[in-house]
Amino acid sequence: MFLIGRHYGRGAPKKAYFAGGSTGGREALSLAQRWPGDWDGIIAWYPAWNQLSAMLAGHRASRALAQPGAYPNPAKRALLRRAVLETCDLIDGVADGVVSHQSQCNAIFDPAVAQVAGAPLRCTGGTEAGDACLSDAQIAALNTMNTATRFNFFLASGSSGYPGYNVWGASLGAAAGSSPVHPIETFLNLGTEQPAMPVPAGAPYITKQLDQVIKLGVTRNPAFDSLALDPENPGPWASRFSALSTMLDVGTDLTAFATRGGKLLLAHGVSDVLVSARATEQYYQRLQAQMGAARVNDFVRYYEVPGYGHAVSTVFNATWDSLTALENWVERGSAPRDQITTDTVGVPGRQRPLCEYPAWPRYRGAGDVNAAASFVCTNR
Ligand SMILES: [Ca+2]
């Protein structure tokens, strides 16, 4: 602040904003809680706010994918996505490759009974039979990712678990794709090689991250078999995870930030399988439980973006002029409304309304399917 003041010769900045995604999103929420006097507005995209919890959940997914025959290759992920779209794409009124009503899709999609192009998604008898079906081992791993992780031990952060991921409809790093973001999406999703020990270079990002965290940050043993560590029952490593949780799981007390007049914009892609949007839902719900929904509405907006993943997406690569929205709120007292997000990859240029959680965008039934005005935010 001193340097900025000196450089421009006009004193200290009048307003200070912070924006970040993923770990940057955690930093954003940490700042709002720990140094509420320093920031007038905060933008947090897909925040890993309870990062230790998220890492343990990601490790549970890696262990599930490491089981014999359990790793779905990119071709099988593409097949799964086609099956999900057959079941869920039209729930929002338009076959646009985007599942907009994710909770409804989660409620009705079951890979064990789903169809794709008139054939069962599940292999006959559940036995591996090539890229045209999913085996029971692969279905079991995907179902594990979709379900919550429970910590059967004490964490000093107070965390007792982590929700599952919205697997159904997510790209997961599916086969094919000429987009420049396709390799990044694959890297941040399920990678190209099954988790194993030693961890191969093409393993999912979270597998490689936790391999290093467990070896170097938890057990302090570079030869440790990280995949042998059960994150729900870590045995002798529980106390070390508990210590790390106080550094990596951010709390949810924004009272001082709100009292000072700070504004917070939260956003998360529904198809994020690295940091779950369900965890950000929990963050938002905790704020509401602590402060009341009306007070939260005075200084927080939470938007969920269908189709968007972690940082990038080949389905709906969301962009949003969040800084203008924040400036208008902080500097002009104009709360965000009718916000719009633009896809830059799936169908470049198409737009959707940004809907305040728990609302989702439903096609009105007529009009340009690439225009935001053709959609209405709805809760049902
Ligand atoms: Ca759709």
- Each residue's pLDDT tens digit, 330-379: 999 999 999 999 999 999 999 999 999 999 999 999 999 999 999 999 99
Residue 176 belongs to a domain: yes
Q: Is 101 a catalytic residue?
A: no
Is the pLDDT at 18 greater than 80? The verdict is: yes
Q: Which residues pair with 116 in a beta bridge?
A: 119
Domain C-terminal end among 199, 230, 248: 248
In angstroms, what is the span from residue 189 Cα to ligand 1's centroid? 22
Residue 26 belongs to a domain: yes
Give yes or no: residues 115 and 165 share one domain: yes
Give yes or no: residues 135 and 233 share one domain: yes
pTM, two decimal places: 0.97
Contact 290, 304 (CB under 8 A): no
Domain C-terminal end among 231, 248, 265: 248
**What is the separation of C-alpha 247 from the centre of its chain, rounded to a whole number of angstroms?**
21
The domain containing residue 117 runs over which residues?
Answer: 51-248
Residue 316 belongs to domain with CATH number: 3.40.50
Give yes or no: residues 70 and 110 share one domain: yes
Confidence band for 57, pLDDT divided at 50, 70 and 90: very high
Give yes or no: residues 224 and 337 share one domain: no
Residue 264 belongs to a domain: yes
Q: Compute the distance between CA of residue 165 and CA of residue 107 in angstroms, rounded to an integer.
A: 13
Give yes or no: residues 373 and 300 share one domain: yes
In angstroms, what is the span from residue 169 Cα to ligand 1's centroid? 10
In angstroms, what is the span from residue 22 Cα to ligand 1's centroid? 26
pLDDT digits (tens, 9 = 90+) for 298-329: 999 999 999 999 999 999 999 999 999 999 99
Give the pLDDT of residue 323: 98
Residue 8 belongs to a domain: no
Q: Is 298 a catalytic residue?
A: no
Q: Quote the number of domains for the chain.
A: 2
Give the pLDDT of residue 12: 86
Residue 200 belongs to a domain: yes
Give the pLDDT of residue 307: 97
Q: Compute the distance between CA of residue 195 and CA of residue 64 in angstroms, rounded to an integer.
A: 9
Query: Catalytic one among 89, 211, 272, 343?
Result: 272
Is the pLDDT at 175 greater than 90? The verdict is: no
Give yes or no: residues 38 and 100 share one domain: no
Give yes or no: residues 216 and 102 share one domain: yes
Secondary structure letter of residue 311 according to DSSP: S
In angstroms, what is the span from residue 370 Cα to ligand 1's centroid? 12
238-248 vs 51-65: helix axis angle to the nearest 10? 130
Q: Choose the weakest-confidence range: 2-11, 30-39, 220-229, 368-377.
A: 2-11
The residues, ordered by sequence, that sit 6+ positions from 364 with a Cβ below 8 Å of its Cβ are 93, 374, 375, 376
Q: Compute the distance between CA of residue 128 and CA of residue 125 in angstroms, rounded to an integer.
A: 9
Q: Is 322 a catalytic residue?
A: no
Query: Catalytic one among 226, 310, 343, 374?
Result: 310
User: Considering Cα of 251, then 252, then 255, then 260, what sign does the dihedral take?
Assistant: positive
Give yes or no: residues 265 and 239 share one domain: no
Long-range (24+ apart) CB contacts under 8 A made by 100-108 are 100/306, 100/307, 100/352, 100/360, 100/361, 100/362, 101/360, 101/362, 102/166, 102/168, 102/169, 102/270, 102/271, 102/304, 102/306, 102/360, 103/358, 105/168, 105/169, 106/146, 106/166, 106/168
Domain C-terminal end among 223, 248, 273: 248
Give yes or no: residues 190 and 299 share one domain: no
Residue 131 belongs to a domain: yes
